[in-house]
């Protein structure tokens, strides 16, 4: 999609042109993903059975709605984290494989603006997929998750940290290209250690301390508190859990952006953008 890039004396304001770039990249990304409908359907079915399988074994063969509700919230958090990691790892690798990564950075549009549009398209598709999966699971097992608006800001804070972690993986992709094993390891580790299926307080002390450093663990804890336990944002702020989530997410995003920027500069300096 061709986008007019404004000059100093351009006809359109710079902000409007940047927004148009984001919109065009977002639409293009959604059209590309929608063209692989069979892959989408297969992925939805697979992710649904992954949840059922893990919940079945963790619950000792029982699929009780009371236990599935907190597990589903944790699974949703993991699903977004997994998508963010895949977005940065596999998509950048495909750009490098096809030889378009260097052209992307040479285009007049800032690379960060282009990436924002692509990330938004993936976020929309991720939301659509997890909505379908959640609806199937809720109807199939009669899971009750109350709708509480307090969960939205908590979820948003968690996503900030999640995408910050994705930047770290993306930076590694620019330098090393083949980071699939790293991405798979992190995705698997998050699934089993972020407290999605087994509460963190059941872990050994050393493992519980480690899981608290993961990008989704604290978000899942606070999300369950406000959505399932009915606590207000003021309550979780007073007990420090929301404050820790805020600090945690800001640190992850800041470190992730810094790491990505450093790796990006090194990749340009070494001429790695056009190599695979």
Q: Which tokens go with 262?
A: 């450093």
Q: Give the separation between CA 62 and CA 72, rounded to whole angstroms.
A: 15
Residue 135: per-residue pLDDT? 93
* In contact, 77 and 216? CB cutoff 8 Å: yes
pLDDT in tens, the chain (276 residues): 444 444 444 445 566 677 777 788 788 878 887 888 888 889 899 999 999 888 888 777 778 878 888 999 999 999 999 888 888 777 777 777 766 777 777 777 777 777 788 888 888 889 999 999 999 999 998 888 888 888 999 999 999 999 899 889 888 888 887 777 888 888 888 888 888 888 888 888 888 889 888 989 999 999 999 998 889 899 999 998 999 999 999 999 999 999 988 988 888 888 777 665
Q: Give the separation between CA 206 and CA 219, rounded to whole angstroms.
A: 20
Look-up of token digits 């977005």: 87
| DSSP 3-state of 255 | helix
Q: Which tokens go with 238?
A: 């007073």
């Amino acid at each position: 999609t061709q986008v007019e890039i404004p000059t100093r004396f351009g006809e359109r304001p710079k902000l409007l042109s940047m927004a148009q770039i984001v919109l065009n990249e977002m639409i293009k990304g959604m059209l590309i993903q929608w063209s692989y409908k069979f892959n989408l359907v297969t992925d939805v079915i697979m992710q649904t059975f992954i949840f059922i399988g893990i919940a079945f074994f963790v619950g000792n063969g029982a699929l009780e709605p009371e236990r599935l509700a907190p597990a589903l919230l944790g699974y949703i958090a993991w699903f977004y984290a997994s998508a963010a990691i895949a977005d940065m790892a596999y998509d950048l690798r495909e750009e490098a494989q096809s030889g378009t990564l260097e052209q992307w950075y040479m285009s007049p549009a800032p690379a960060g603006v282009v990436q924002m549009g692509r990330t938004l398209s993936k976020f929309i598709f991720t939301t659509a997929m997890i909505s379908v999966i959640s609806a199937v699971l809720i109807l199939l097992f009669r899971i009750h998750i109350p709708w509480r608006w307090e969960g939205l800001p908590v979820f948003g804070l968690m996503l900030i940290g999640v995408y910050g972690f994705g930047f770290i993986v993306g930076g590694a992709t620019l330098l090393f290209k083949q980071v699939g094993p790293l991405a798979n390891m992190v995705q698997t580790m998050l699934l089993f250690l972020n407290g999605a299926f087994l509460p963190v307080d059941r872990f050994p002390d050393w493992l519980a301390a480690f899981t608290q450093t993961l990008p989704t663990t604290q978000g899942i804890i606070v999300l369950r508190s406000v959505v399932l336990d009915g606590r207000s944002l003021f309550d979780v702020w007073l007990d420090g859990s929301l404050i820790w989530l805020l600090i945690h997410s800001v640190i992850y995003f800041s470190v992730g952006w810094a790491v990505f920027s450093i790796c990006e500069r090194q990749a340009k300096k070494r001429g790695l953008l056009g190599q695979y």
